[in-house]
């Protein structure tokens, strides 16, 4: 594989972020609670401020994966205060042409390292139960199911299963 580069998105990257996020929502509508229509309606300044973690008082790790400067993946780790022990994973997506090459695994590793460095002891996410690739990704990475599935959206028959992975410092 050509060199994979994973970097942290900052407000100046908002156009790249907007582009890859909208691509992910368009490509995988059943994987995310938000819809392409909802996010396509956001203004440029809203996209920019999403990445302005300081102004939002948000402790988060917004990651973009690129190969030869082309965006091929996205994932966020977010700590929701006051519970500073848990990192929630959102927006995980890898472009169809780049799947099966370990990119999601690499994004997860970065988030896990950041979570450990932030003193967190749990990774948490929710995955659509019918999404076999993502369920297998998370299971093989060490996530286990927890709690009951809930609807993806109020108008959806798809169900979201919460999953968690306990972290041990020193890993
Ligand atoms: C799920 C997704 C992120 C996986 O990305 P990826 O970069 O292809 O995954 P990786 O190559 O890192 O694979 C890691 C592991 O995931 C599992 N996996 C990935 N794709 C799979 C597939 N199509 N079928 C079965 N298992 C799969 C495997 O266990 C794999 O490990 P292995 O290759 O050693 O068997 C990607 O398919 C995707 O973006 N799907 C649409 C969006 C989505 O579902 N996001 C998740 C929201 S919770």
Nearest to 54 by CA among 20, 1, 94, 10: 10
Per-state percent for the chain, helix, strand, coil, to nearest 5 = 35, 30, 35
Report d(CA 98, CA 96) in Å as an integer.
5
CB of 20 within 6 A of ligand 1: the answer is no
Query: 31: which 2 tokens?
Result: 């994987």
Q: Which of 4, 73, 99 to mutate to test the pocket of ligand 1 (most atoms within 8 A of CB)?
A: 99
19 vs 74: CA distance, rounded Å: 11
Locate the domains of the chain by residue range.
4-166
| 103 C-alpha to ligand 1 centroid (Å) | 8
Atom of ligand 1 nearest to the CA of 24: 42
Q: Could you name the CATH architecture of 4-166?
A: 3-Layer(aba) Sandwich (3.40)
Cα 152 to chain center, whole Å? 16
Q: What is the pLDDT along the chain (171 residues), one digit of tens a residue?
A: 579 999 999 999 999 999 999 999 999 999 999 999 999 999 999 999 999 999 999 999 999 999 999 999 999 999 999 999 999 999 999 999 999 999 999 999 999 999 999 999 999 999 999 999 999 999 999 999 999 999 999 989 999 999 999 998 766
Pair 163, 145: CB distance under 8 Å: yes
* CB 170 less than 6 A from any atom of ligand 1: no
From ligand 1's centre to the CA of 15, what distance in Å? 26
Report how far ligand 1's centroid is from the alpha carbon of 137 (Å): 5
């Amino acid at each position: 594989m050509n060199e994979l580069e994973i970097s942290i998105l900052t407000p100046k990257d908002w156009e790249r972020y907007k582009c890859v996020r909208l691509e992910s929502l368009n490509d995988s509508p059943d994987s995310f609670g938000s819809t392409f229509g909802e996010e396509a309606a956001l203004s440029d300044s809203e996209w920019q401020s999403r990445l302005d973690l300081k102004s939002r008082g948000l402790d988060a790790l917004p990651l973009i994966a690129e190969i030869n400067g082309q965006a091929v993946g996205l994932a966020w780790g977010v700590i929701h205060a006051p519970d500073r022990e848990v990192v929630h994973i959102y927006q995980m997506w890898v472009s169809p042409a780049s799947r099966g090459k370990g990119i999601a695994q690499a994004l997860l590793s970065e988030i896990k390292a950041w979570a450990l460095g932030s003193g967190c002891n749990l990774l948490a996410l929710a995955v659509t139960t019918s999404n076999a690739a993502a369920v297998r990704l998370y299971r093989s990475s060490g996530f286990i199911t927890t709690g009951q599935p809930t609807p993806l959206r109020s108008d959806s028959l798809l169900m979201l299963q919460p999953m968690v992975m306990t972290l041990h410092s020193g890993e």
